Structure formats: C-alpha cells, structure tokens
Amino acid sequence: MFLFKLMSFLLGYVTILVTGDAPEKFINMAASRGISLWDVARSGEGGIRLKVRLSAVKPLRHMARRTRCRFRICRREGLPFYFARLRRRKALALGAVFCVGVLYLLTSFVWFIEIRGNEQLSSAEMLEAAAEAGLTRGVPKWQVETGAVEAKIMERLPLVAWTGVYLKGTRVVIEVAERTLPVEEDQQPAHIVAGKAGLIKEVLIVSGHPVVKEGDTVVPGQVLISGVIPAVEEPEPGEEPEPGQKSGEVRPAAYVHARGIVRARVWYEGYGEVPIIEEGRRPTGSTKTRTSIKFEGKEIILSGSQNIPFEHYEADTLVKSLPSWRNLIIPVELITIKYHELSDYKIERSPEEARRLAEERALQEALASLSPNTRVEKQWVEEVQTGRAENLVRVKAIIEAVEDIGADKQFKP
Amino acid sequence: MAWRDVKRKVKRQISEILEIPGDVALDLPKIILFGNIQLYIENHRGILEYSPEGVRVSVGEGEVMVEGENLILRNILPDELCVEGRIFSLRFD
C-alpha cells in the first residue's frame, strides 16, 4: 500500500469530483478496466470525490461519456505538478540549485583542524608544522596530501613518534603519539631534610654524606643526608687513615644532590569522643520545596504551601536572579527554598559501646592524617581520664608507622 | 437452469473432496472484517450503490450490503475493495 502511494506520488495523481445519475456505474467501469481508484467518498449532494492516477484521466473521459457522468478535477498532486509549479517560479528553482552548489563548494574546504594526543608539544607547534606541508584552515581538501603532512610533522618535530592525518568531512584530525624522553635528573646541590619528626630506623644513601644514624631522633627541617661531602685532608702524621679510604688521597669538598631513603618511626595521634547519652536533632529525610518569585519586595508563591509544614526544620535557600546589564537591574528573583524536616533523637549507649565507637573514630582520624606508602607498625588506643564522671567517653589513638621522611631541600654552596 | 444447478453441485462436491477454498473454486467473495472499522471484499463484481451510510456490492451470486456511518471506499481494484468507516452491519441479499 505504501509502495502504491509512493508510485502515485511520483507519477502524479488528481482528485476528481464525479457527478451524474449513477456515479457507481462509472466507478465499476473504471475498476473493471483496471484503473485503481482510492479514497472514494461522498461529497455534498450527488457527487463522489475520488483519487486516480494522472495517467488514468484520459480513459476516464471516455468512460464518463459512456456512463453519462461528468467529472471535474479538483486537486492536482504529485511530483509532475510540483515540477510544473517550479517551472513557473524560476528564481526559487535557481535558488535551490545555488544553495546545493554552495553547500557542496563549502564542504570541499578544510574548516577545522583538530589535534589529538599531544601532551608535551603545543598545538601551535603542530599547526605550524602542518602549515609547512600545506595544511591550513581554508585550503581546498583536494590539495591536502595526508602522507606529505605526516612526513613533514615527523621531520619537523623529533618528539613525535607516530602521527596520523585523516580527513573527516570538513575536519582534519591530526593524531600524534609522543616519545617519552628520559627525565633529566636534577643536579642542583641539595640536602635531604626531615619532613616530620621521628625516630630514625634505617638510612640508605645513594649519594651524599650521612649526618644522622639509626636511633637518632629528628625534628622537622633537620638535615638527614647532607649534600656537602667534606674535603679529605691530608692525614696528619701519626694518624691512621680511616677505613675504606685509600691513604694519601686528597680531594676538596664536593657538593652533590643528596639522594637516599631515610625511614623513620613516626607517630600519629587521633582523638575521638562519644557521649553515652546522645541527644540532638537530625533530618528525617522528608523535604518540602517552595518556589516563589520576589518582585520589588513582594513574594509570590508559585508552588508549595504558605506555612512551613514542619515543626523543626533546616532551610536551603537558592536565589536566582537575572543577569544585570550595564546599570539595568531587573528586580525579579526566583527563590527556591528547600525545607528539611528535623526530629529529636536520643540514643543511650552502654559505656562499652561508647568506648568502641570512640576508638573507631579516633583511629579513623589518625589514619586520615597518614601519608600514602606508609606501613603501619603498631596501633593502640587509650582512654583519656579526666578524673570526674561525665557523659563523654574520650579516647586517644596512636599509630606508629614507618615511612620515608626525607624531603629535598636545595642549598647554595 | 437445471444444467447450471447440476454444474454448481458438481463443482461444490469436487471442491469439498479436494479441499479447495471456496473463493477459488466456487467464485465466492472473500470478506475480511477488521473489527467494525475496515472491511475487505475480494472477488467482487462491482459497486451497486454507494453512500456514506451504506455500500451495496455485487458479488458472485447476489449482493453484500454494508451499513454504517462515514463509510468511504479506501481502495478499489478490479477484484478487491476496501471499505472504511464505522460499520454497523453486514448482510447478504
């Protein structure tokens, strides 16, 4: 049926109004001669309106005469008629052709250049390299040779390991993969100092001169591994040369970038308290929203009730006002207030339960201050006694951790 | 007349024996009714009368009367017919 309608549209069809004594006869004759009719409906007094294909109109004239009917064409539809109408409106047809032509012309240029995958290289550098190979914004697409652009980028920018240039409509995508170059080591003379207070557990030196040893207590900022390697003086006569050092070797003081790992025991503290009988208010989860418009001091409620439906509540107010332009301020504000209902609660805990909860909180606090890559050696909790009976259980948690406390600090020799 | 009756009788018997559908062998109309909104008549012999309240269609022997309101003939082909609208009744005369 759809195919039939489509064919009718392509070939053109007309709506005709048949009048006469017996339009049924006319319809029968047409149908029996293989002319398909559709949408047959009574129209007004005595007339029948129906649709036929354009090619069937001529034989219908003959049949109308035979059955003593008359017909009149009311509407013409379909492609042939549209074309005829277009022929009369040359400017419109020309405009349509022109539009398609311009669209085609415009799509044959490069309008956008997109660069993907560059992290160290700047996009400007990439674009410059591409421009040298003839790829800039606005060049015709047929002049862009992707292979040549790829080769040019590889040649110009040694940091690029691979590049791919694709045309996607009016967009050119340049994808690059960069080489990772080895990170240059910092050669500035530097000490390693303590970042935290602690008890030194082990010292491992890659370069530099040790200042502290195992078992030392250090404070933040104290030098752990010095970047100054002291000069070796000429051994004084009679003094034994130090072990591990060839006798007779003399060299001046050297400055290096100290490297090494200094692990120390560090203590972290956390504190938690939990009341045995806890009272307070907390949200029940039920909320009500009120939206209103404020205009020159007057508030008009759009939705939500006028009085607040909760006994205890917390309100979140959101005011939206129109952006001001120059010195024009529009005095209209949209105010949305969200009321959260609160209710009283009372929790009674046993002392053991309160203590357990306080311990948990204290430990959590202590763990939160721990830096990553830290090994927890030991942890313990102790109750803080204030000496008098009270509603609170106070607990202190202590975590002993072993971590690298060294931090670089440059110095001027 | 008698000869025609004999012919029809033989035809029906043959179609019953061979289980051939009636619309093929006996030239009967095949009528498909979709609820009360659409009606297909295959194998018709022409429209006798058409108005929005009733359509009379000639079939092999006799006629089919379709009554309803706002009836239109959606499609007319040499041997197929489609009536649309609100159909109240279908009668064989």
Is residue A32 assigned to a domain? yes
Question: What's the pLDDT tens digit per position in A176-201?
Answer: 998 887 777 777 888 888 888 888 98
Q: How many CB atoms lie within 10 A of CB B15?
A: 15
Q: How confident is the model at residue A43 (pLDDT cuts 50, 70, 90)?
A: confident
In this structure, the answer to whether residues A79 and A46 fall within a common structural domain is yes
* CA dist., res. B54 & res. B45, Å (int): 17
Nearest to A394 by CA among A268, A275, A277: A275
In this structure, the answer to whether residues A135 and A164 fall within a common structural domain is yes
Q: What angle do CA A398, A402, A403 make, to 5 degrees?
A: 120
Q: What angle do CA B46, B51, B52 make, to 5 degrees?
A: 125
The minimum CA-CA distance between A100 and chain B, rounded to whole Å, is 39
pLDDT, residue A5, reads 87
Cβ atoms A202, A216 nearer than 8 A = no
Which residue, among A28, A45, A49, A53, would best test binding to B if mutated, counting the most B CBs under 10 Å from its CB?
A28
The minimum CA-CA distance between B64 and chain A, rounded to whole Å, is 15
pLDDT, residue A242, reads 52
Q: How many domains does chain A have?
A: 4
Q: How confident is the model at residue A240 (pLDDT cuts 50, 70, 90)?
A: low
Q: What is the CATH number of the domain that holds A26?
A: 3.30.70.260
pLDDT, residue B67, reads 94
- Which range among A123-127, A232-236, A283-287 shows the weakest confidence by mean pLDDT? A232-236
The verdict on a CB contact (< 8 Å) between A31 and B73 is: no
* CA dist., res. A223 & res. A212, Å (int): 8
The minimum CA-CA distance between B27 and chain A, rounded to whole Å, is 16
Is residue A103 assigned to a domain? no
Is residue A135 assigned to a domain? yes
Q: Residues of A numbered 27-46 whose beta carbons fall under 8 angstroms of chain B's beta carbons: which are they? A: 27-28, 30-34, 36-42
The verdict on a CB contact (< 8 Å) between B50 and A48 is: yes
Residue B19: enclosing H or E segment and its boundaries?
A: none
pLDDT, residue B56, reads 92
* CA dist., res. A275 & res. A279, Å (int): 9
The verdict on a CB contact (< 8 Å) between A23 and B50 is: yes
**Extended beta strands in chain B, E state:** 30-34, 38-42, 44-51, 54-59, 63-77, 80-92
Whether residue A278 is predicted with pLDDT greater than 90 in this model: the reply is no
Question: Cβ contacts (< 8 Å) between A38 and chain B: which residues?
Answer: 73-76
Question: Quick one: CA dihedral A105, A107, A109, A112, positive or negative?
Answer: positive
A127-144 mean pLDDT: 88
Is residue A262 assigned to a domain? no
Interchain contact A48–B (C-beta under 8 A):
yes
In this structure, the answer to whether residues A354 and A382 fall within a common structural domain is yes
Q: How confident is the model at residue B91 (pLDDT cuts 50, 70, 90)?
A: very high
pLDDT, residue A293, reads 87
In this structure, the answer to whether residues A51 and A14 fall within a common structural domain is yes
Question: What's the pLDDT tens digit per position in A90-105?
Answer: 898 899 999 999 999 9
Question: Cβ contacts (< 8 Å) between A41 and chain B: which residues?
Answer: 52, 72-73
Name the closest residue on chain B to residue A27, using Cα atoms. Answer: B47
Residue A240: enclosing H or E segment and its boundaries?
A: none
Whether residue A172 is predicted with pLDDT greater than 80 in this model: the reply is yes
Interchain contact A3–B (C-beta under 8 A):
no
Q: Which one of B52, B73, B78 has the shortest CB-CB distance to A32?
A: B78
Q: Which one of B47, B50, B74 has the shortest CB-CB distance to A39?
A: B74
Whether residue B1 is predicted with pLDDT greater than 70 in this model: the reply is no
B55-70 mean pLDDT: 89
Average pLDDT in chain A: 85
Q: What is the CA radius of gyration of chain B?
A: 15
The verdict on a CB contact (< 8 Å) between B76 and A32 is: no
A160-171 mean pLDDT: 89
Q: What is the CATH number of the domain that holds A141?
A: 3.10.20.310
Residues 6+ apart with CB under 8 A from A284: A341, A342, A343
Is residue A409 assigned to a domain? no
pLDDT, residue B24, reads 67
Is residue A226 assigned to a domain? no
Residue showing tokens 């269609």: B57
* Domains of chain B: residue spans and CATH: 27-92 (2.60.40.2000)
Residues 6+ apart with CB under 8 A from A124: none
* CA dist., res. A159 & res. A181, Å (int): 8
In this structure, the answer to whether residues A132 and A68 fall within a common structural domain is no
Residue showing tokens 């006319």: A26
Domain boundary among A178, A195, A225: A178
- Which range among A2-11, A51-60, A328-337 shows the weakest confidence by mean pLDDT? A328-337
Q: How confident is the model at residue B6 (pLDDT cuts 50, 70, 90)?
A: confident
In this structure, the answer to whether residues A70 and A142 fall within a common structural domain is no
Q: How confident is the model at residue A247 (pLDDT cuts 50, 70, 90)?
A: low
Residues 6+ apart with CB under 8 A from A396: A269, A270, A271, A362, A381, A382, A383, A384
Q: How many CB atoms lie within 10 A of CB A322?
A: 12
Q: Which residues of B touch A (CB under 8 A)?
A: 46-52, 72-78
Name the closest residue on chain B to residue A21, using Cα atoms. Answer: B49
pTM: 0.41
The minimum CA-CA distance between A83 and chain B, rounded to whole Å, is 27
* CA dist., res. A74 & res. A39, Å (int): 14
Name the closest residue on chain A to residue B50, using Cα atoms. Answer: A24
In this structure, the answer to whether residues A317 and A366 fall within a common structural domain is no
Nearest to A400 by CA among A267, A307, A205, A210: A267
In this structure, the answer to whether residues A396 and A326 fall within a common structural domain is no
Q: How confident is the model at residue A246 (pLDDT cuts 50, 70, 90)?
A: low
B38-60 mean pLDDT: 89
Interchain contact A393–B (C-beta under 8 A):
no
The verdict on a CB contact (< 8 Å) between B47 and A36 is: no
Question: Cβ contacts (< 8 Å) between B51 and chain A: which residues?
Answer: 42
Residues 6+ apart with CB under 8 A from B4: none
Q: How confident is the model at residue A239 (pLDDT cuts 50, 70, 90)?
A: low
Nearest to A284 by CA among A304, A301, A309: A309
Q: Which one of B49, B52, B76 has the shortest CB-CB distance to A31?
A: B76
Is residue A249 assigned to a domain? no
- The tally of CA atoms less than 13 A away on the side-chain side of residue A328 is 5
The verdict on a CB contact (< 8 Å) between B73 and A32 is: no
In this structure, the answer to whether residues A11 and A72 fall within a common structural domain is yes
Question: What's the pLDDT tens digit per position in A362-404?
Answer: 888 888 888 777 888 888 888 887 777 777 888 888 888 888 8
pLDDT, residue A236, reads 60
Which residue, among B42, B70, B73, B81, would best test binding to A if mutated, counting the most A CBs under 10 Å from its CB?
B73
Cβ atoms A337, A268 nearer than 8 A = no
* CA dist., res. B73 & res. B46, Å (int): 12
The minimum CA-CA distance between B2 and chain A, rounded to whole Å, is 30
pLDDT, residue B88, reads 94
Cβ atoms A142, A108 nearer than 8 A = yes
Residue showing tokens 């029809």: B8
Whether residue A123 is predicted with pLDDT greater than 90 in this model: the reply is no
Q: Quick one: what percent of chain A has pLDDT higher than 90?
A: 10
Q: Is the model more confident about A205 or about A242?
A: A205
pLDDT, residue B85, reads 92
Domain residues for the domain of A374 are 269-276+349-404
Q: What angle do CA B11, B13, B18 make, to 5 degrees?
A: 95
Question: Cβ contacts (< 8 Å) between A32 and chain B: which residues?
Answer: 46, 78
ipTM over 0.85: no
Q: Residues of A numbered 155-214 whose beta carbons fall under 8 angstroms of chain B's beta carbons: which are they? A: none
The verdict on a CB contact (< 8 Å) between A31 and B78 is: yes
